[in-house]
Amino acid sequence: MAVIVRIPTQLRELSGGVSEASLEGSTVSELLSALETAHPGFNERLFDDTGGLRRFVNVFVADEDVRFLDGLDTAVGDGQTVSIIPAVAGG
């Protein structure tokens, strides 16, 4: 099942400059693993030492934050879009 993963500008150096990747997976965890396989380097930017998402990394499935769904176990369906969005802070 193909799912589109949107890659933010800040991480596009890891994806060869592409803004989207079509990947296979039925959960967010599987998709992010496939992203790492296709473009090594994402894991260290997305995950902390415990294997959870870093605090400043937000992942959305169909405009819903996975932290309010089933986290990395959130199911994704064929044709859905997963967006990686880094948190922005400042003042």
Q: Which two tokens stand for residue 45?
A: 């930017």
Does some domain include residue 81?
yes
Please give the chain's pLDDT, 91 residues, in tens: 689 999 999 999 999 999 999 999 999 999 999 999 999 999 999 999 999 999 999 999 999 999 999 999 999 999 999 999 998 776 6
- Output the pTM of the full model: 0.90
Q: What CATH number corresponds to the domain at position 25?
A: 3.10.20.30
Domain count, the chain: 1
Q: Is 27 helix (H, G, I), strand (E, B) or coil?
A: strand
Does some domain include residue 74?
yes
Phi/psi for 71 (5° steps) reads: 60, -140
Does some domain include residue 91?
no
Per the CB < 8 A criterion, the answer to whether 39 and 15 are in contact is yes
